[in-house]
Structure 1
Amino acid sequence: MIKWIAAIAGYYLFRYPGAIIGFLLGSLIDSSSNKGGGPKSVFRDMTRQSVSPADFELNLLSLCSLVIKADGKVSQTEMDYVRQYFVSTYGKEKANAIFRTFNEVNKKHEISAQRICAYLNQRTRYEVRLQLLHFLFGIAQADGQVTNAEISKIQEIAGYMRITARDFESIKAMFVKAADNAYKILEIAKTATDDEVKKAYRTMAKKYHPDRVNTQDEAIKKGAEEKFKQVQMAYETVQAERGL
């Protein structure tokens, strides 16, 4: 409607060129106003542009299902973890609708992690994809252990999402315990100098500081705070080890 009003106004002001410009500007306004709001997901409000809730959430749920089925068995605990997230984010009615649609689509089409990640790469910032990676590891850990098959699947997804190897290992170290975890979380080698350790801590603390997460969503705030605590704990571990 706006595009035609703008076209008429443009015609009266500048004749045919004005009508064309008015029509184009009005079309943009119409398009913008028709995008709608919809419920905010933990990741949606950090995307580069408006994303259709149905497409984004179905793709997110698809990635969740790949991780849940990665080790050849379906863990009820992991499924409950995902369902709890969707219910807390969208409400029970909306979450049930998403799961129903996913089940219908999943019967007809095979899930392609590469295709889904290509979609997400075009529509989300790198920081959002780091949040997604953290969320997927949270799913894998929900039943008390992260299996090698789950790690392999999440690493595959991380590659498709263009997550760097260092960022992958850093987030993985927050969920999979190892002797040198503190160094992995800080993204440095155990042979790093004391100055390099301090510099790495400042860099990682800045990357994962909750203030960088511009959202009112409690779930994503909690995730950001958890990663920030992990970075602090890693630095304190190295400090104690080195007597800094």
Structure 2
Amino acid sequence: MMQKLRSSQNEVETAFSIMLPDQRIEARLKSVPEYMDEYDETTGMVKITGIIRNGGFRHVVNMLKLIADAFRQGLMELPGMDKNALVQAAVLHDIGKVQPDLKIGDIVNPKEVFEKGYFHAFRSADLSKALYNIDDKVYYVIKYHHHLENELPSDFPEVLLPMYRFFRLIDGLSAGITRRGSKVLMKINGTRIYVKEESSFPSYNQEIEMDIYTGFFNSRKL
């Protein structure tokens, strides 16, 4: 069973590589590691427990799987949702990301060691605009994917809020899949999305309910 799952994952990654408009994107994403860690709530420190060398690439592949799942469930039929724009944003949203060089066993303060997310979001948006002439929809989604909704600038197009909300959701879910091997079950009913996330790290297990039109969001620990 595990062999079949690995084979399926390899097939998806191979197909993704072939479809990329520029093979430098693949090289860039594969050069960005992701870290597995254990968080200590009492100290605010994290201990590095694993290194995913091609983590940036896997993260994007997992986001694309979530987009495909949402497409199958009809989410992209809603006004305001654009599958092609979401796919392009997913592929390019982390090309400007920079990670620290850490080792297994390192204990670090994540607020000091890891760059704030909006820095790489801005870089990724500007690089994507300059290199691939992305349209404004994709640019805004990439640029503000690490902003909370109440932090968005006044000129952020309201029509993009459904895609922005969905993109932030799957960015976080994919991080759990990539770093913690989370199992994610997503059910869609109209504009409502219901998520159940479970992993071997109980503190991250949760249920989410959100509405991409109204912005309603509720998360409950399991």
TM tier, smaller = 0.3 to 0.5
Structure with greater strand share of residues? 2
TM-score with structure 1 setting the length? 0.31
Asked which structure has the greater CA Rg, the reply is 1
Structure with greater helix share of residues? 1
TM-score with structure 2 setting the length? 0.33
